Amino acid sequence: MLMKLRWFSRAEDRLDAWITRQHQEHVLDGRTAPVGPCPGEAFLEGVARQSKQIALSDPRVDHAANCPDCMRMLLELRSQHLSRRRRLVFTAAVGCCLLIVAAFAMVSWRGSNTPHPADNMAAIPETIDLSNAGTLRGLPSNSAEPSPLQSVSLPAALVRVKIILPRFSRPGQYAVAVTRDQTVNDPLAHGNAAANGGGDQEEVFVDLDLRQSRPGAYFLSTTHEQDQASYYYPLQIK
Ligand SMILES: [Zn+2]
């Protein structure tokens, strides 16, 4: 049914176009008798633009539809108007595409720059040097009292800590935690990082969020992925 209607309306359009063409040829051949004087280009321009200010009942429209000179000018103006409009539509479409592309670019740029929760605040860089804590290596941590030399402090903030591990520490993955006592249960903050550096000095970089921590005495623990023992160092949170 819809197909039939569409076919019908297309056939109608073709018929209209054919009648219009026949009429145009008729007029252009000078086989019609226009009534009244030629209305001038400004008026024909309005007709070509299908200006709403021009009523189809206007006798000048009737003249233009039957005058070969006016018809020629009208066809010329009409094609100019159509190509101008096509250019305008094309420009608008290109403008739209550019806007969409710009919007997409903006969204993806903002997406890639959306800060992660931990990045909202810049992490404060801190360095903890445990390189002289080598005496503790190889001993179960809870049986050895760490020397006061190794006592370190961190601010109650989001910190990016570079930990210089005790000499001869093994490379690999380390778990780092800030704890209340010498157990890794319920740490205040923790993170994992791979030790890199090579040679006899290994370093790990780890982000620790100590913003919720109260100032006081805590422990910093390091645990190698293949070690069962954790090493604890006294830590002051300021
Ligand atoms: Zn005329």
C-alpha 65 to ligand 1 mean position (Å): 8
DSSP reduced 3-state for 167 = coil
C-alpha 74 to ligand 1 mean position (Å): 10
Residue 79 banded pLDDT, cuts 50, 70, 90: very high
Enumerate residues with CB within 5 Å of ligand 1 (an ion).
38, 67, 69-70
pTM: 0.45
DSSP reduced 3-state for 66 = helix
pLDDT at 116 over 90: no
C-alpha 63 to ligand 1 mean position (Å): 6
pLDDT at 143: 47
| CA distances from residue 63 to 16, 28, 57, 60, 66 in whole angstroms, order as listed | 20, 13, 11, 5, 5
Helix (H) or strand (E) holding 2: helix 2-28
**Tens-digit pLDDT profile for residues 141-156:** 444 554 545 568 899 9
**Tens-digit pLDDT profile for residues 151-209:** 688 999 999 999 888 887 888 888 899 988 888 778 889 888 888 876 678 889 999 99
